Structure 1
Amino acid sequence: MRKSISILTMFVAIILTLSITSCRETKEDKAEEAIEEVKDGVEDAADEVEDAAEDVEDEVEDATDDSPQ
């Protein structure tokens, strides 16, 4: 009887340990995915800012080229 209780207790402990470990991995995976999404968003925003800066530069060049001298 004592042996079966000990084995049952060890089994429950192993199950709890595995469940806690798997939860941590899931949270880490979600955090990594969120970080990747933020990086992608920042890169997209940087590309848009760069394109807008080039457009402004082109407009300024066009405006200064068209002005009478």
Structure 2
Amino acid sequence: MSTLRLAAAVLLLSAPLAACGGSGDDKLARQVEKTADSRADQLEQRADDLKDQAEQVRKVGEKRADAIDAADLNTHAMSPEQKAAIVNNQAPAVR
């Protein structure tokens, strides 16, 4: 019984929407959709830019790690602050 009531309510609510096809709402709807598409394109471009930046950060991190490994640093003689500075890219890894 409740399914029948729901179907009737949907039919009653959708009837006025079906009747309004010729007014300026089509133009407004296209403008809304165009604006949303434009915003989505901008977000996708920002996402692509961030992905490129992330890849660059990874490459730099790999190169720094390789340089540290190749330098065979005496990390036992380094303070925790010195190690943290190297990890956080706040100090040169190899001198």
- Fold-level similarity (TM above 0.5): yes
Tell me the CA shift for residue 19 of structure 1.
1.1
- For 1:17 and 1:48, the matched residues in 2 are separated by 48
Tell me the CA shift for residue 18 of structure 1.
4.0
Matched, 1:28 2:33: yes
Instruction: Please point out which of 19, 38, 43 is paired with 2:48.
Output: 43
> 2:58 maps to what in 1?
53
- For 1:32 and 1:17, the matched residues in 2 are separated by 24
Structure 2, gaps ≥5 residues long: 1-20, 74-95
- For 1:17 and 1:47, the matched residues in 2 are separated by 47
The TM-score normalised by the length of structure 1 is 0.72
**One-letter amino acid of the structure 1 residue matched with residue 53 of structure 2:** E
Q: Deviations over 1:21-40 (max 9, x none)?
A: 00000000000001100000
> 2:71 maps to what in 1?
66
The TM-score normalised by the length of structure 2 is 0.53
Identity of aligned residues (%): 11
Asked which structure has the greater RCO (Cα within 8 Å, sep 6+), the reply is 2
- Divergent runs of 4+, >3 A: none
